[in-house]
Amino acid sequence: MNDKRPFVIIIVISLVGLVLLTKLFMIQVMDDSFTRRAERNAIQRVVDHPYRGLIYDRNGELLVYNNPIFDLMVVPKEFSVKDTAKFLSIFGIEKEDLVTAYNAAKKYSSVKPSPMIKQISSTDFAKIQDFLIDYPGLFITTRSVRSYPTPIAAHALGYIGEINARQLERDSSDYYEQGDYVGLSGMERFYEDELRGQKGVKYKMVNVRGVDKGPFKDGAYDTASVAGINLTSTLDRELQLYGEHLMEGKTGSVVAIEPKTGEILAMISAPFYDPNELTGADFGKNYSILNSMDSKPFLNRPVMARYPPGSIFKIVQSLIGLQEGILFPETTFACNRSLVACHNHPSPVNLFGAIRNSCNPYYHQAFRRIINQEISSNTFKDTQIGLDAWREKVMKFGLGGKLGVDMVGEYGGDVPSSKLYDRVYGEGRWKYSTIYSLSIGQGELQVTPLQMANLAAIFANKGYYYTPHLIKAVDGDPTRIPAKFRIKNDVGVDPKHFDLIQDAMAEALYGTANRAIIQDLVIAGKTGTAQNPHGEDHSVFVAFAPKDDPKIAIAVYVENAGWGGRAAASTASLMIEKYLRGQITRPQLEEYVLANNFIY
């Protein structure tokens, strides 16, 4: 038995050797994967990032363009540094930042490129480009950042930034890679697919030191990038610029709409910021500063802030009452201040006078007629039935939910239903005296400034609106905007009822907003003063002009500025004059608004 051991050992060794020889033969002769892998190691894949589409205003003025910048990319497996101090000095990077960037790149992939130094300017790139050949695994890729020739409309235009890990995970298109830039807000985010373009890829041969030896196979596998699609926005550059000038130092919103199309002419959220602050290498620092401000400059107030509509809601009440045959032009009520407070004006008043003088007691009594129609003998049940029927009519005016503007992050308003009061007071335990504040646009009613401007457009159009939107054409073609923006939305009120409303709104300027009057230009408007339990009331004004051929509808909301006939009406009137006439003929009113001092 002992004599067989050497023989067994020889057999085992022979078998192992045969296996190894067979494997070596397969690797060297039959299998070319190692050859191809070695070839790939000598080929550098460089992504050719496209320029994002440009954005123009409605008159062809450039609002957003691209500036080239450079990213220093690293392939961790190939990267090595012998003299760290020299490297840090050449590339202008701190050691901690180098370690952090390298570790992040390695975590992502040891063989795929990741950004090491982002957004290098052309000047800084010129300083480092000659040193790149000394560091294997490093190469430059060209990108672009957004620039704004006129620093306006930051909230509407939005900004781009580096895609984060969560967005990468949700990218079902498999388009993005770590380090890519993506639209994060405004038009940049909503129209990301149109603006981003298509990436290209170039393959080039490099030696062991990373020196470029020319295109791989004469560029046979290269693909060219395709620039993003240009967008024409609905914004009017000059009107937006002027509106931001008027709102400087204030908190609030201005939204102007072309009534016949729903195109947004101006969208101002104050306080605002210079969009150029969120571009380039200082993006992170500036973002942190802006985000920490108590004034909340990132809050897009036209679509995110919600307020009571105040007295402008009386127009909606009037139209519902007229359509339902509950109110008539001759319907008259006394200005009974024991019901609700009001200011001095003639009494009694009919519907025209109620709108002109913004009579609170009139709408207290009119709203009761709308709600309590004696469908049920039980006053609690009757109020519930009436409120829900009224709510359904109000929501046709684009209230109580999102309008659907082409902007991510829009909030809806709120029109309360009976379910809300059932939760608060208990079912069958509330009646008209509980909800009467809704009659004058207070209480639980909430609207956004965009919805207010849309109401003005409805009043101008005599009963319909197009969903407000920020893009007029895609690649020069107006039919390529989302189809929903070309659909007419009817509010369910006969156009004939708007004649009285428009005439009364035109007269209202002489009753509550005489500052808004423009000689030889008929403006129809309505003031509002939204109650604010935390300080001065908010100033509200909606209007459209010219009355008989409306070209602009506008809503202005200035927080803590008091009566609507002051700040809001004055600002709206100046905006209307600027848009329709191209110049301001009332410098004293402009000075009053700019002074930010609204003592009447």
| Domain membership flag for residue 79 | yes
Over 80: is that where the pLDDT of 218 sits? Answer: no
Question: In the beta sheet, which residues pair with residue 464?
Answer: 490
Instruction: Tell me which residue of 4, 549, 536, 28 sits closest to 259, measured CA to CA.
Output: 549
Residue 83 placed within a domain: yes
What is the helix (H) or strand (E) element at residue 89, kind and residue range? Answer: helix 84-91
Q: Give the whole-angstrom CA distance, residue 513 versus residue 525.
A: 8
Half-sphere exposure of 367 (CA within 13 A, CB side): 29
H or E, element range at 461 = helix 449-461
Residue 418 in any domain: the answer is: no
H/E stretch holding 528 reads: strand 524-530
Three-state DSSP state, 585? coil
Q: How many CB atoms lie within 10 A of CB 491?
A: 21
Q: Which residues, other chains included, contact 185 with Cβ-Cβ below 8 Å and sequence gap of 6+?
A: 155, 158, 159, 300, 408, 409
Whether the per-residue pLDDT at 123 is higher than 50: the answer is yes
Choice between 221 and 465, residue whose per-residue pLDDT is larger:
465
* Domain contains 99: yes
3-state SS string for 93-106: CCHHHHHHHHHHHH
Helical ranges in 232-295 per DSSP H: 237-247, 283-291
Query: Do you find a cis peptide bond into 271, omega within 30 degrees of 0?
Result: yes
Calculate what percentage of the chain has a pLDDT beyond 70: 90
* Higher-pLDDT residue of 561, 271: 271
Binning pLDDT at 50, 70 and 90, where does residue 562 land?
Answer: low
- CB of 234 closer than 8 Å to CB of 156: no
Per-chain mean pLDDT for the chain: 89
DSSP assignments along 327-380, one per residue: --TT--B---TTTS---S--SSB-HHHHHHHT-HHHHHHHHHHHH---SSSSHH
pLDDT at residue 16 in the model: 67
The dihedral sign for the CA sequence 589, 269, 544, 329: negative
Q: What is the pLDDT of residue 33?
A: 47
Q: Are 332 and 326 in contact, with CB atoms under 8 Å apart?
A: no
* Beta strands, E only, 195-326: 200-206, 212-215, 231-233, 252-258, 263-270
The answer to whether residue 397 sits within a structural domain is: no
Percent of the chain residues topping a pLDDT of 90: 64
For residue range 63-107, list pLDDT tens digits in order: 999 998 888 989 888 888 888 999 899 998 899 989 999 998 888
CB atoms within 10 A of CB 434: 16
Tokens 């002027």 — which residue? 242
pLDDT band at residue 446 under the 50/70/90 scheme: very high
Q: Give residue-wise pLDDT tens across range 274-318.
A: 999 999 888 889 999 999 999 999 999 999 999 999 899 999 999
Cβ neighbours, 10 Å, residue 226? 13
Q: Residue 97 falls within a domain, yes or no?
A: yes
Per-residue CA distances from 301 to 162, 269, 286, 557 (Å)? 25, 5, 20, 10
Task: Give the chain's domain count.
Answer: 1
Tell me which of 7 and 596 has the higher pLDDT. Answer: 596
Among 474, 475, 64, 46, CA closest to 225 = 46
Task: Region of 249 please: left (phi>0), alpha (psi -120 to 50) or beta.
Answer: left
What strands lie across the sheet with 43-48, from one edge to the other? 43-48, 200-206, 212-215
Q: Is residue 73 part of a domain?
A: yes
Q: Is 448 helix (H, G, I), strand (E, B) or coil?
A: coil
The answer to whether the beta carbons of residues 372 and 379 sit under 8 Å apart is yes
Q: Averaged over 48-56, what is the pLDDT?
A: 94
Provide CB contacts within 8 A for 86, sequence distance 6+.
none
- Domain-embedded: residue 550: no
Q: What is the pLDDT of residue 23?
A: 60
Specify which residues 254 forms β-bridges with: 268, 556
**String of DSSP letters for 111-150:** SS-EEEEEEE-HHHHHHHGGGGGGSTTEEEEEEEEEE-SS
Confidence of residue 57 (pLDDT cuts 50, 70, 90): very high
- pLDDT > 70? residue 432: yes
487-492 average pLDDT score: 98
Please check the confidence at residue 34 and state whether its pLDDT lies above 60: no
Query: Which DSSP state fits 28?
Result: I
User: What tokens were used for 73?
Assistant: 């990319």
> Can you tell me the mean pLDDT for 529-543?
76
Q: Is 358 helix (H, G, I), strand (E, B) or coil?
A: coil
What's the full length of the chain, in residues? 600
Range of the domain at 135: 67-143
pLDDT attached to residue 78: 85
pLDDT at 26: 59
Terminal CA-CA length for the chain = 119
Assess whether pLDDT exceeds 60 at residue 25.
Answer: no
Pair 325, 496: CB distance under 8 Å:
no
